[in-house]
Amino acid sequence: MPPVKPMLAKSVARIPPDMQYEAKWDGFRAIVFRDGAEVELGSRTGKSLTRYFPELAAALQERVPERCVLDGEIVIARDGRLDFDALTERIHPAASRVRTLAERTPASFVAFDLLALRDEPLLDVPLSDRRKLLTTALSSTTAPVHVAPATTDIEVARRWFEQYEGAGLDGVIAKPLTLRYLPDERAMFKIKHERTADVVVAGYRFHKSGPIVGSLLLGLHDDAGTLQHVGVSAAFPMKRRAELVAELEPLRMADPAGHPWAAWSDETAHESARLPGAPSRWSGKKDLSWVAIRPERVAEVAYDHMENGARFRHTARFRRWRPDREPESCTYAQLEEPVGYDLNDILG
């Protein structure tokens, strides 16, 4: 019975040997519960996602066993690639808006584990046996419900790691073949893409605990030479956060009027440029203000991949300052583009 928290993965640098390998899907993790006419989609935190994906609930009722619990990922594909932005648009309070989006950008469910079938719980069954039960139980399923491809061949997994990124996937997951299903435990392994980029540090936000740096605001220049906000770097020890305030103080602008992102507080300005503090339904009453600094310092950051080619999908990881680089040289052109790969070739 819901809620059930999904089993999690911990990051490792390389693909480990002698395991089952799958793609790491970039979507909403979901536990699907079906009991006859009832279908429930539970999020990673245990909250219900069902109302946001009505078309998927209907499809699951038609395509999965009458009584089962599945672990998988809700995704939306557009032009052969995963589209995370379209997915986040679904978390909307208006039912009419959700219905419109369900017709415009229907979601899919990719199943990669089976937690229960009929009256039999499977949490203590080894992964290799759960995989066989999963593929048998969903052998006749059709889109938009899919079974995630899996292999035990590490060479295939390495090839997937390179190819699948072009379809918007996030890396590879490795699972020990004897692994029991352990809710909310990091018992699997994830291997994600990581690249580096030189970015302009153009501001920072204070930490919630006080007047120390919470996150650095990062920018890249577009083809027109405009500095676009591309994300943040936020993982620093507390001592380093305090040091950064002092380090950046000489660059702090008493009057941000001349800053490239000075118009950030004007909602209409976000329509034509990427600025920090963009208002959204996620921010609510959150303080989006930030401290402007002269955009003169360059930092090297690590990132996994770009979202729609415009911003870092996840928080970038600070590596070092680059005093040898000029801010004007920090452009989108330096970013590595993954080779295109059609998502339909993965799901079949």
Q: Which of 24, 190, 192, 285 is catalytic?
A: 24
Q: What is the spatial distance between Cα 279 and Cα 202, in angstroms, rounded to a whole number?
A: 19
The DSSP result for 122-183, as a single string, is -TTS-HHHHHHHHHHHTTT--TTEEEPPEES-HHHHHHHHHHGGGGT--EEEEE-TTPPP-T
Q: If you ran DSSP here, which 8-state letter would residue 347 be given?
A: H
CA nearest 171: which of 70, 37, 68, 313?
Answer: 313
CA distance 101 to 111: 22
24 among known catalytic residues = yes
Q: CA dist 106 to 52, 55, 101, 103, 135, Å? A: 11, 7, 7, 6, 24
Catalytic residues: 24
